[in-house]
Structure 1
Amino acid sequence: MGLVDDNKDKDGLQESDGESSFYTTDQDDDHHDESKLHLGPQRTLKEQLEKDKDDESLRKWKEQLLGGVDINNIGAETLDPVVKFISVAIVSPERPDIVLSIPEDGNRQRLWFTLKEDSHYRLKFSFQVGNNILSGLRYTNTVWKSGLRVFSTKDMIGTFSPQPEPYTHEMPEETAPSGFMARGSYTAKSKFIDDYNKCHLEINYTFDIRKDWASND
């Protein structure tokens, strides 16, 4: 969903003569973005707390992470965390937030949004976590134009305890590319994956970069 961030692991945009240019790589985006961590077997929250009760540092870390959460009311014997994405929005100081509907099957058939070239924006989303600790949630995004991959990025979001209240997270500010070569239609795939390589949300979609924001956004 983002296009520029100099502090991220990415393949993407280069600046030349005041306009954005593009290049692609032959790396497979799924293999490129997946974590290579080996974390051992996944355990339920109840098992984790029982296992680490004699390790003071781990026990204190988990107590701090869980805060005042009542583990008796969050399904602490369930192995996988349940993650529900509530909303996704594009936030820009230039205009009201663009709230995007999340497709149920992960495939957005129509144009999802339009970015104004050279605009500053952030991606903001809210989500709920239940049943178990969500370890190392990260966001990956790959963008294609005319069938060529022009951008790939991944961002670490964090680790979250189960709780009934939703979390809200804003990504770093980005700047949309500009110039004749940057304008047009793009296809993209965004994924939210945890340390165990479980994908909690995948969205395939299209978006445009134009001279101005779409009037109906």
Structure 2
Amino acid sequence: MSAPHDDELHPVETEGYKVGEKKTVEEYAKLDAEDEALNRWKASLGIGAGAQTLSIGEPGDMRTVVILELALLATDRDPIIIDLDKPNAVEQLEKTPFTIKEGATYRMRVKFRVQHEVISGLRYLQLVKRKGVTVDKSDQMMGSYAPNTKENPFYEKTFAEEEAPSVMFFRGNYTALSKFMDDDKKAHLEFKWQFDIKKTW
């Protein structure tokens, strides 16, 4: 399920960068077999011998990137895990704010699955507002990924450490819009959520 579009939430454009032509896993496996640098890149994605078996996804599920879980990892508390595989999980995020302690250091972690095709330039975009005013905007590159296998059923990405504001003035409710998008500007998941910055967890 996608959230309402926000015109402020776009990826950062790199001047001169051109997105390559879309290819199947099989086409990537056969591409320029003599090119050592390209072969190293393909190996980093898990593309090689037997690649034709990688393009199979969950039967009836045509999504290419499936976000399974979000987690808030803080230094002084147990992780806050949001299971996005549960029905209505995205809708609950917008209705139920979670708490971040002022001054706390934390990281966000995402668990996801790729199926059917290679995903190029997957990134996480986030826009945070307080009382309707933008207070933070981030664009984090996650990378390129081949479809998962039985041996490697999902990927995990942990983002850079952040610190919640520690001044009393910043306590209160914040709303956020998050989006997972690839180089083709395809949004794989877009959702609204909210959090409160408080004195304690």
Q: Shorter chain as normaliser: what TM range?
A: 0.7 to 0.9
> What is the root-mean-square deviation in Å for CA atoms of aligned residues?
2.6
SS of alignment partner, residue 39 of structure 1: coil
Corresponding residue of 1:83: 65
- Offset, 1:136: 1.4
Q: 1:63 is paired with a residue of what secondary structure?
A: helix
Instruction: Report the number of matched residues.
Output: 183
Change (3 A) 1:133 1:81: farther
Please give the residue correspondences for 1:40-189 in structure 2 after superposition, counting only pairs within 5 Å: 40-66=20-46, 70-75=50-55, 82-102=64-84, 104=88, 106-107=90-91, 108-164=93-149, 165-189=153-177
- For 2:194 and 2:117, locate their aligned partners in 1 and report how far apart those are by CA, in whole Å: 33
For 1:30, give the aligned amino acid.
Answer: L
Partner of 2:3: none
Q: The residue matched to 1:209 in structure 2 has which SS?
A: strand
Tell me the residue number matched to 1:208.
196
- 1:119–1:196 Cα change, 3 Å: same
Structure 1 segments unaligned to the other structure (5+ residues): 1-27
Q: What's the % identity of the aligned pairs?
A: 34
The normalised TM-score by structure 2 is 0.79
TM-score (norm 1): 0.74
User: Residues 106 and 202 of structure 1 are in contact (CA less than 8 Å); yes or no, is this contact kept in structure 2?
Assistant: no
Q: Quote the Cα distance in structure 1 between the aligned partners of 2:123 and 2:165.
A: 24
Of Structure 1 and Structure 2, the greater strand share is in 1
* 1:52 aligned counterpart, secondary structure: coil
Structure 2 residue ranges without an equivalent (≥5): 1-6, 57-61
